């Protein structure tokens, strides 16, 4: 517009001052008059106050973290990438600028398989990369739709089966009442089995623990036991050694007369047999 109306530097500065608003207008009002009347000085002061003083290294670091949003189009994402590349690499040529934009845009895409396929095509500009990405995305959506149709056909085929366990109503799938009852029975049986096994294991462990404790207590209290038969310590009347010896002695005494009588009878029989044999021999001679 300044070239069209042939404005001088002073007129350009006046038009800029008239277009300022809010904080920029307040800042320009505090500048010296010589600065406000000179376009170059005014632009220099405004750039010092409101310009972007971030270092290029910061934008390069941001490029490494820049990722495409899920609901963001490729065009919007490429614009964000181009803005950061322009600030991260100021003064580069057009060829290197386009190469950097393509490389950083492809690295920020979520589906890196598609990005690698596009990179192998060696796009020279961002527009070519966007066209390739759009083509790959359309192909991928077509495959997904075919798979979805195949699954829907399989579901319809399954619904025709009389023994199906799921019903479809208004594109929604519901489990049948028979399947719910069967599931309830299976769940009940499994719970009963688990609870029974748990109780059984608990009872066995408790009995083992009690028996072990009883044996330990018996060993500890054995020395303090008193026998009611001999009044000795360390055993009970049932296991009393003196009582056992006495019982054994009484038993031997009871069996001794019988043994003597049997021996006498055997000796008498032997003597009678001997006498009879002698008599038989004398008769033969």
Domain presence at residue 88? yes
| Integer Cα distance of 152 and 146 in angstroms | 10
Same domain, 67 and 21: no
Same domain, 31 and 102: no
Q: Which domain holds residue 148?
A: 56-156
Domain presence at residue 70? yes
Nearest to 78 by CA among 117, 133, 138: 133
Domain count, the chain: 2
Same domain, 94 and 23: no
Q: Which residues of 138-171 are buried (b: 16+ CB within 10 A; e: fewer)?
A: eeeeeeeeeeeeeeeeeeeeeeeeeeeeeeeeee
Domain presence at residue 149? yes
Same domain, 28 and 120: no
Q: For 108-112, what is the mean pLDDT?
A: 86
Whether residue 139 has pLDDT greater than 70: yes
The pLDDT value recorded for residue 205 is 80
Q: For 100-106, what is the mean pLDDT?
A: 90
Q: For 44-63, what is the mean pLDDT?
A: 82
Domain presence at residue 126? yes
21: phi > 0 → left, psi -120 to 50 → alpha, else beta; which? Answer: beta
The pLDDT value recorded for residue 160 is 46
Q: For 140-188, what is each residue's pLDDT tens digit? A: 777 777 666 665 555 554 544 444 445 554 555 555 677 777 878 888 8
List the single range of 95-104, 165-174, 210-219, 240-249 with lowest mean pLDDT.
165-174
**Residue 15 buriedness (CB in 10 A; 0-12 / 13-18 / 19+):** middle
The answer to whether residues 135 and 118 touch, using CB atoms and an 8 Å cutoff, is no
Same domain, 66 and 137: yes
The pLDDT value recorded for residue 155 is 54
Whether residue 281 has pLDDT greater than 80: no
Whether residue 79 has pLDDT greater than 50: yes
The pLDDT value recorded for residue 254 is 66
Could you say which of 130, 156, 182 is where a domain stops?
156
Domain presence at residue 177? no
Task: Give the CA diameter of the chain.
Answer: 188
Q: What are phi and psi of 226, to 5 degrees?
A: -125, 130
Domain presence at residue 31? yes
Domain presence at residue 185? no
Q: Which two tokens stand for residue 98?
A: 């386009």
Could you say which of 134, 156, 178 is where a domain stops?
156
Same domain, 61 and 24: no
Q: Which residue has the higher pLDDT, 50 or 261?
A: 50
Could you say which of 131, 156, 181 is where a domain stops?
156
List the single range of 85-94, 175-184, 200-209 with lowest mean pLDDT.
175-184
């Amino acid at each position: 517009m300044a070239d069209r109306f042939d404005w001088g530097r002073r007129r350009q500065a006046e038009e800029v001052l008239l277009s300022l608003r809010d904080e920029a207008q307040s800042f320009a009002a505090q500048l010296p008059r010589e600065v406000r009347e000179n376009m170059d000085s005014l632009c220099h002061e405004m750039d010092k106050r409101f310009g972007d003083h971030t270092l290029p290294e910061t934008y390069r670091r941001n490029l490494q973290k820049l990722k495409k949003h899920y609901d963001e189009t490729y065009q919007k994402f490429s614009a964000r990438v181009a803005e950061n590349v322009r600030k991260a690499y100021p003064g580069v040529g057009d060829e290197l600028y386009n190469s950097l934009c393509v490389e950083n845009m492809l690295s920020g895409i979520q589906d890196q398989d598609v990005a690698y396929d596009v990179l192998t095509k060696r796009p020279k500009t961002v527009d070519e990369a966007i066209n390739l990405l759009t083509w790959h995305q359309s192909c991928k959506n077509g495959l997904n739709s075919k798979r979805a149709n195949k699954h829907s056909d399989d579901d319809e085929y399954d619904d025709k089966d009389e023994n199906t366990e799921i019903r479809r109503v208004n594109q929604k799938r519901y489990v049948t009442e028979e399947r719910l009852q069967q599931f309830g029975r299976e769940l009940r049986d499994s719970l009963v089995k688990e609870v029974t096994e748990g109780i059984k294991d608990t009872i066995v462990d408790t009995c083992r623990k009690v028996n072990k404790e009883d044996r330990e207590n018996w060993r500890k209290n054995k020395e303090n036991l008193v026998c009611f038969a001999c009044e000795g310590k360390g055993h009970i009347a049932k296991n009393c050694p003196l009582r056992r010896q006495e019982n054994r002695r009484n038993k031997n005494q009871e069996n001794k007369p019988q043994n003597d009588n049997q021996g006498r009878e055997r000796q008498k029989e032997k003597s009678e047999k001997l006498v009879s044999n002698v008599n038989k021999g004398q008769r033969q001679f």
